[in-house]
Structures are given as C-alpha cells and as structure tokens.
Amino acid sequence: MKKIIDDKRLIFKCCTLYYKYGINQEEIADILKISRPSVTRIIKTGHEFGIVKIEIINPFENDFYEMEIELERKYNLKEAVIVNSDNIEEIASETFKFLSRTLEDGEYVGISMGMTLRNIVNNIHINDIEQKKCTFIPIVGGIGESRYDIHSNYISMEFSRIFRAKCLQFFAPLLFSDINIKNKFLQEDSIKNVLEAFNKISTLIVGIGMPIKRTSTLLNSGYINERLFDDFVKNGMVGDVAVQFFNKDGDTKPFDAFNKLVAGMNIEQVKNVPRRICIANGENKAESIIGAIKGNIINILITDVDCANKLLKINN
C-alpha cells in the first residue's frame, strides 16, 4: 500500500483546500482524517510533483524589485532599494518610506554629512510621515564651518524635524590638526553625552564620497587639500564614509593618519552598528560602494538604477 503522501488524488485535494479555499492545515487534517504533519508533507509534495505552482506577479512597471533581490544576494546586503535615475525627489521619498518602516520608537539614529544627505532632507515632499520617537545623533563634528547645510548637525536636525523626533548636537570641529588636541577636546563634559550616545546607535544613515575632485565635498569644502587628496588616490583610496577614507577592499588603515583626526564615530564603531544605510546615486559611485561593502562599513543600500546596473555588472 502506497504512502498517503504519494497519493496524487489526496495531494491534489489537500493542496486545493489549502491554496484555493484558504482552509488552514489543522482543519484539512480533520476533514481528511490525517495528521497535521502529514498535511504539511503533502503540501510540500504538491510543490515537488508540480501540482502546485506559485506565480508572483510584479504589479509595477519597472523591474527594480528583482534587481534589488539580485543586489542583496550578490553583495550580502540586508536590504537594497532601487529608484529611477536622476530623480533626487524619488530617492528622498523612498528613503523616508524605508525609514518609516524600519525605525522603532526609542531608537538612536546616527547621521553623517555630505551633499547627498543634505539633498535628501531638502527634497522630501511627503506630508504624512509617521512620527518616530527616535533620537537623531550627528556622528561627526562640523558646526560653524563653511556650508553648514552639509554638516552632520544640520542634517540631524532636519531628520528630527521631519520625524518630529529628538536630536542631539555635536559641537566640535570636523577635523583637528593634532590627535592629542582632539582627544583632549573630546574629554570635555559638554561632549561626553554625544560620545556616549554613539554606543546606543542602532541605525546609521550615511552618504559616500568618491575619489573625484570635482565631486568631493571634503576637498571642495577645504577639509583636505588637493595634494593630500591626490596622494590618497595614488595609494588606492576609492571613497570615504563618515569622513574616513578606505581602499577597494574597505581597508581604512592606509589613511589612518588622516582618519584619526576626525571628530566623530571611528570606523570600528560604525561597523558595530546593526543597520548601516548608505544612500548613493550614480554609476560612478559603484566602486566606492563595493569598497564600503567589502569593509563591512555598510550593509543596506538605497541607490538608483544606473548605479545598481553597474554594481550587478561588475565581476567580483
């Protein structure tokens, strides 16, 4: 006598009850007078025999959703979000939709600096964003210096305004000339509450810099001179996150002399944050993104289709 899980008539009936009529497995077991584990095995067999075929219909016009899964699998990302190219408003909208879904009340959220993040907060036009009882924290200094709107303090305040949340301020220069001066400054009581808050951060939001002079925020804002920038490029620099440079393997050590002068979260603290969201658009950022992924600096990516295509084409 053949096993019940090999009985095609029973398999068809069981799968029909489950998938077509929405009857749960416990009820099916009672109807067919078999055990619930047998129902589970029969449904699985239905898939194996080709009796059950599941078709997923993409309700959208683009194919970005499959690309997102490809990116996640190829680069071992927790999540990828892809939008149309040359549309900062769409990137901003999808960024805030993602954050509205993933942020939890009571969470500490770290915010980096740069033009991309500045453009995100300046181009959001969603009026009904859900309030999040989070605390936004600037992870690098920079208050009172040139282009205040690209600095971590300003961008953190904008995120907190949009989510009607709390915000800390990090009243420190972005870059020090001497590491001893920096370390002494960071011992001040007025700074300690921010440094202690770094250890509570569970989500980071960062942009990513490239080794291209005309687009480098740090170079164009005067934080690094052209000669040093050129030296970094010659030594293999492919990008920076939170004002800390790294090479194609995500290694920051070749640039430690500069990186350690930055007031803010160091790269090891960054890596310890569970969710590290990078927002970057344009195919010219692909190599920088790969370096950051290899270095375990980022693990979630929000990007555009041009950059996503480049990332999928590159053979690692």
Task: Tell me the per-residue pLDDT of 180-233, one tens digit each, with 9 for 90 and over.
Answer: 999 999 999 889 999 999 999 999 999 999 999 888 888 888 888 999 999 999
- 88 domain-assigned: yes
Mean pLDDT, rounded, for 154-162: 96
- 59 domain-assigned: no
Position 118: which residue type? Answer: R
pLDDT attached to residue 1: 40
167, β-bridge pairs: 136
Q: How high is the mean pLDDT of the chain?
A: 92
109, β-bridge pairs: 136, 203
- 54 domain-assigned: no
Residues 212 and 276 in one domain: yes
Residues 11 and 148 in one domain: no
Write out the residue range of the structural domain in which residue 15 sits. Answer: 4-48
Residues 93 and 226 in one domain: yes
Q: What angle do CA 196, 145, 233 make, to 5 degrees?
A: 85
- 11 domain-assigned: yes
Residues 175 and 72 in one domain: yes
Q: What is the layout of strands, in order, in the sheet containing 108-111?
A: 79-83, 300-304, 275-279, 201-206, 108-111, 135-138, 166-167
- 293 domain-assigned: yes
What does pTM read for this prediction? 0.83
User: Residue 33's domain is classified under what CATH number?
Assistant: 1.10.10.60
Of 21-25, 146-150, 261-265, 285-289, the least confident: 146-150
Residues 82 and 190 in one domain: yes
Residues 151 and 29 in one domain: no
User: Residue 164's domain is classified under what CATH number?
Assistant: 3.40.50.1360
Domain count, the chain: 2
> Quick check: 312 pLDDT over 50?
yes
- 53 domain-assigned: no
> Quick check: 260 pLDDT over 50?
yes
